[in-house]
Each structure stands twice: as C-alpha cells, then as structure tokens.
Amino acid sequence: DAKTTQPPSMDCAEGRAANLPCNHSTISGNEYVYWYRQIHSQGPQYIIHGLKNNETNEMASLIITEDRKSSTLILPHATLRDTAVYYCIVRVRGTNAGKSTFGDGTTLTVKP
Amino acid sequence: GAGVSQSPSNKVTEKGKDVELRCDPISGHTALYWYRQSLGQGLEFLIYFQGNSAPDKSGLPSDRFSAERTGGSVSTLTIQRTQQEDSAVYLCASSSGGELFFGEGSRLTVL
C-alpha cells in the first residue's frame, strides 16, 4: 500500500467548511483513495472513496488532484459532532486488495 | 448482526496470562483484518485474512501473537504471556473488497 501523509491536527469553526488534505505521491494507478474517521472510543467509520474523479456523498466531498498525488476531504458545514480523527489511506479494490495501512491521521477539532 | 461484532469489549488481565479476542465479521465478507491501537496512536496493522489464502501475518509484533479464522468467518486473536505493552484497543474489520467495516474494538488492559 502507498504511504499517505496528513497534518497531525486541524481546527475548524462550527458551520464552516473543513478541508482536510492528504498526500499520496506514490499512489499506483489501480489504488483508490479512501477516507475514514474515528470518533473518540469508537471504531473507524468509512466516509468516502475515489479513484480519480471528484466524489460527493451525504457525508463529504472528495477532491483528487489530476496527478492523483494528493486529495482533500471536504466537510461542507462542520458540526461539533465532526470532531474526530480522520484517516486517509490508499488501497486497491477487489478480493485481493491486501492489507490496508493506516497512518496517524488528522485530528479535526470543530470549535463553537 | 448487521455489523462487525467483537468480544469482549473490555478485558483486564494479569501480566503473563493468555487472552483471546473474538471477531465476528459481516456475513459474506471474505476479507478480515486485525489492527491494534495504542492510546493516542493510529491504527497498527496486525494480520489480514482473505478467503482460503494464507494470511498476511506481516504486522504481528512477536510470536506471542497469533490469529486464526475458522470456516472463513469468525476470527480469534490470541496473545500469549501478555505484557504491559500489549495494552491497547484491538480492532477488527471486514470487507468484501471495497471499504472496511470496523467493529467497536476490544480494549485490553494488562496489569
């Protein structure tokens, strides 16, 4: 699995957009970008994934650069409940996806 | 159940004892993962099972750690002769090839 790099922490004001960056400069052509978040004392929760096109779901948007070496997770209107550790990983899809390596993630603190 | 189930949710043991942690994956998921998370740290990969293939054990920290997956479903992570540094939350995840679905973890405390 390709290594990802994320800032250790970020703050965001409640109601504002939270933009969380991730660098994955060694990503392979068949690897997807996945985002998860972990709220205190819970298991990680899947948020969104993408290959090369931008993606949006009810939780967030994912912007992937054209060269696929970095991406940004966007929470359009952050709430206090979005305070969590956010993990960016890259992995292939399919039955032989192999192990998935998580880094230390970004601790997002949403402030009132 | 609908999600990944782990038991026990909390385990306190004495140094030197053996412990077993159980993971019940989502039905039909062929891939199963174990991770360890020490306090304030990220997820450390331990072991990965995929169908009937040999497991990827590359993340197991020592030979005191082992895991098995019976019948392609339930998995047990065993830690022998526990040490205080084994204290952590042990997370299990399953997948059908896409996103990982995590359980709530088993918190192990070694006194």
pLDDT digits (tens), chain A, 112 positions: 668 999 999 999 999 999 999 999 999 998 999 999 999 889 999 999 999 989 999 999 999 999 999 999 999 999 999 999 999 999 888 766 778 888 889 999 999 9
> Which band of pLDDT confidence, cut at 50, 70 and 90, is reported for residue B100?
very high
Which residue, among B26, B41, B43, would best test binding to A if mutated, counting the most A CBs under 10 Å from its CB? B43
Tokens of A108: 């997002």
Given a cut of 60, whether residue B1 has pLDDT beyond it is no
Question: CA angle at residue B17 from B16 to B22, to 5 degrees?
Answer: 135
| Nearest residue, CB atoms, B105 vs list A36, A43, A101 | A43
Chain B: nearest CA to A74, how far in angstroms? 19
Question: CA angle at residue A56 from A52 to A59, to 5 degrees?
Answer: 130
Chain A contacts of B48, Cβ < 8 Å? 98-99
Q: What value does the mean pLDDT take over residues B73-86?
A: 97
Upper half-sphere CA count for residue B57 (Cβ side, 13 Å): 14
Query: Can you give the pLDDT at residue B33?
Result: 95
In A1-112, beta strands by DSSP E: 9-13, 18-23, 32-38, 45-50, 55-56, 61-64, 70-75, 84-91, 106-111
Under 8 Å between Cβ of B72 and B23: no
What burial class does residue B39 get, using C-beta atoms within 10 Å of its C-beta: 0-12 exposed, 13-18 middle, 19+ buried?
exposed
Which residue, among A96, A100, A101, A104, would best test binding to B if mutated, counting the most B CBs under 10 Å from its CB? A100
Q: What residue in A sits closest to B33 (Cα-Cα)?
A: A99
